[in-house]
Structures are given as C-alpha cells and as structure tokens.
Amino acid sequence: MTLVTRQLKKAARVILIGAPGVGKGTQTERLLTRFPELASISSGDLLRENVRRKTSLGLKAETAMQAGNLVPDSLILDLISSEFKSKGWLAKSPGASISPTASFILDGFPRTSVQASSLDTLVPINFVVHLVTPPSIILSRIASRWVHEPSGRVYNTDFNAPKVPGKDDITGEPLTQREDDSLETWTQRLHKFEETSRALLEHYDRKGCLWRAEGNTSDEISPKLFAEIENRFC
C-alpha cells in the first residue's frame, strides 16, 4: 500500500471525542501518518510519565488515578500548558498565545466542559470530531473478541478469526474472553460516556467547531475524516 501524506496549510488543533471501543486510538494513529505535522498529546500518558518520575504533579495525581477518578482540573491544566511550553508552542510569559503553526490532536483532554472552557483561554481548538458508531455495533464487536491470555494475542470472530475456532493460531491453546469485556460492563461504559460527553459536545457545538463522523468500522470513518481535514486545513 502506498503511503499518502498531506501537508497542512493552516494549523489544525484537533480533539477526537468518541465512546470507548469506537477506535479513537486507531484514528489518531492514522491521522499522524497522513498528516506528519500533527503531534498527539495524551493527558493519560503525560500523567503516567509524571507518576513514574515522581514529580510533584505526579505525586498529587497518583491517588486519584489509582482510584479511577479524574485528577483535579488545575493539575491537568498545568500539565497541558507545560507540555505546550516544552514543545516551544507557548511562550513562558503569562497570557502568551499559542504558536500559529502548532498542530496537534489532544487525547483524553478535555474530559469535561469546565476543562474545555479553561482550554479555550489557553489554546483555541479549531476542529472537534465526534466519532460515532452505533452502540449495538460496538457491543457486537466486543462480544466477538477473544484473547490468548499468555501472549495477549487478540482475535475477532468477525474479521480476524483464529484458524481453528476457540484456539490460538501459534500455540493451539484455548482462547478466552476478558472479564471486563462482558456485555454488562461495556453497556455501563457506553452509558457513562453518553452522560459525561454531552456537555463537552454541546460546548464545542456552540463554538461552531464540532463535526460528526459516523461509521460502523474505523475503515469506514477514516476516509471521511481525512477528506474533512484536507478540506479545512490543506
């Protein structure tokens, strides 16, 4: 397959919002390949790095993260603005504005409309993508997922089936389904996303930068997303 890349003519400051299982990670990877000027900034990765290095921010965030709670907004804001500064995109002086060439995808941030409002004062986001796959499709994809626990190899009986049903291709050992892949857990996760994302989507809809990309698979969504970014930024 030939690798097609595109150059951005205008800075793209992008956020992807989508339910768990919708393929945000896949779309992010594909966007980074297609548009090499984009960088991805993940709040979860930055936090884990701070925890690992035992920075004062990491120590403050660790308890909330371990309990599965969101860390306080002020910490996240500090984290993101220092990342922008370390990339040379934001001058150190207070109130400085973002470099006009900085192009990035934010991953995991903002999570709430409060965070989105704070981000507006720091860096104006200019493209917010709502990735949509019907929940019934996400659930059936999860239900078809089987893993070989010892190696972590993942199969999907719909599009990446093992050669012998129920057996790992390499070792022939039995495949299992993850406990946290149960239908009940996933239904809850999807409901929670619906609830928490509503205010965030409304926030960006009011700003006029929200765009919806719908599809049953990542392969269906990617071409639409590429075309829209090319239209807006290339």
Per this entry, what is the length of the chain? Answer: 234
Q: How far is the CB of 67 from ligand AMP (least distance, A)?
A: 8
Say if residue 218 carries a ligand binding annotation: yes
Q: How far is the CB of 28 from ligand AMP (least distance, A)?
A: 12
Binding site for ligand AMP (CB under 6 A): 43-44, 47, 64-65, 68-71, 76, 108-111, 115
Say if residue 115 carries a ligand binding annotation: yes
Nearer to ligand AMP, 58 or 162 (CB): 58
Say if residue 104 carries a ligand binding annotation: no
Nearer to ligand AMP, 64 or 98 (CB): 64
Q: Which amino acid is at 178?
A: R
DSSP-assigned states of every residue in 115-167: HHHHHHHH----EEEEEE--HHHHHHHHHTEEEETTTTEEEETTTB--SSTTB
| Category of 96 on φ-ψ map: left (φ > 0), alpha (ψ -120 to 50) or beta | beta
In the structure encoding, which two tokens stand for residue 45, read together? 């990765």
CA distances to 83, 128, 142 from 21, in Å: 27, 18, 8
Say if residue 68 carries a ligand binding annotation: no
Nearer to ligand AMP, 8 or 70 (CB): 70
In the structure encoding, which two tokens stand for residue 72, read together? 């306080």
Nearer to ligand AMP, 77 or 209 (CB): 77
Q: How far is the CB of 47 from ligand AMP (least distance, A)?
A: 5
Say if residue 164 carries a ligand binding annotation: no
Q: How far is the CB of 167 from ligand AMP (least distance, A)?
A: 32
Nearer to ligand AMP, 129 or 175 (CB): 129
What whole-number distance in Å separates Cα of residue 97 and Cα of residue 123? 7
Nearer to ligand AMP, 75 or 175 (CB): 75
Q: How far is the CB of 186 from ligand AMP (least distance, A)?
A: 16
The secondary structure element, H or E, covering residue 65 is helix 56-66
Say if residue 7 carries a ligand binding annotation: no
**35, 12 in Cβ contact below 8 A?**
yes
Q: How far is the CB of 46 from ligand AMP (least distance, A)?
A: 8
Which position's Cβ is nearest ligand AMP?
44
Strands (E), the chain: 13-18, 39-42, 104-107, 127-132, 145-148, 153-156, 210-214
Say if residue 58 carries a ligand binding annotation: no
Which positions make up the binding site? Answer: 21-26, 43, 48, 69-71, 108-111, 115, 145, 154-155, 178, 189, 218
